[in-house]
Amino acid sequence: MQERQLYYQVLNFGMIVSSALMIWKGLMVITGSESPIVVVLSGSMEPAFHRGDLLFLTNRVEDPIRVGEIVVFRIEGREIPIVHRVLKIHEKQNGHIKFLTKGDNNAVDDRGLYKQGQHWLEKKDVVGRARGFVPYIGIVTILMNDYPKFKYAVLFLLGLFVLVHRE
């Protein structure tokens, strides 16, 4: 009987984690982007986006990338996506494009950030296009990143609370 109760509480916890996971994966499927929600980490896009803003992305194949649009891309070999604006595009007849980006608040374009020898970005590097944003909420993520102990403490407390509290 005890084992059942314990298994029940563990399952409860598992269900909550699974729900969060499924919502995230569901968003991934719906938007077509690997990372449908990102946080702006630097001030390179001010005054459009500030550090700590939360962005919602979509990555539909049909949307063409045009100059002046804001894209979120990932440079090969780097984990962190970058949010910048498209500056120049070279487009072939078959739809294959190469583009150059620059942050609004930066003095120079992003060539310095790209991989050694890479001068242009391609469609495959794009994580998504910003479709909506919520200001300031992402500061929590930045805090949790800067102070990993805070993150583990929050997750631990949440887990403990769900496992122990029996409603």
Q: Across-strand partners of 91?
A: 97
Q: Which is nearer to other proteins, 2 or 116 (CB)?
A: 2
Residue pair 86/101 in contact by the 8 Å Cβ criterion? yes
Q: Which is nearer to other proteins, 34 or 76 (CB)?
A: 34
- Does the protein bind other proteins through residue 25 (CB under 8 A)? yes
Task: Based on the residue annotation, tell me whether 42 is a catalytic residue of this protein.
Answer: no
Query: How many whole angstroms separate alpha carbon 163 and alpha carbon 41?
Result: 34
From first CA to last CA, the distance across the chain in angstroms is: 18
Dihedral, CA of residue 115, residue 119, residue 125 and residue 126, to nearest 10: 130
Task: Based on the residue annotation, tell me whether 84 is a catalytic residue of this protein.
Answer: yes
Q: Which residues are catalytic?
A: 44, 84, 110
Which residues of this protein are in contact with other proteins, per CB under 8 A? 1-2, 4-8, 11-12, 14-26, 28-29, 32, 34-35, 37-39, 41, 74, 79-81, 138, 140-141, 144-145, 151, 154-155, 158, 161-167
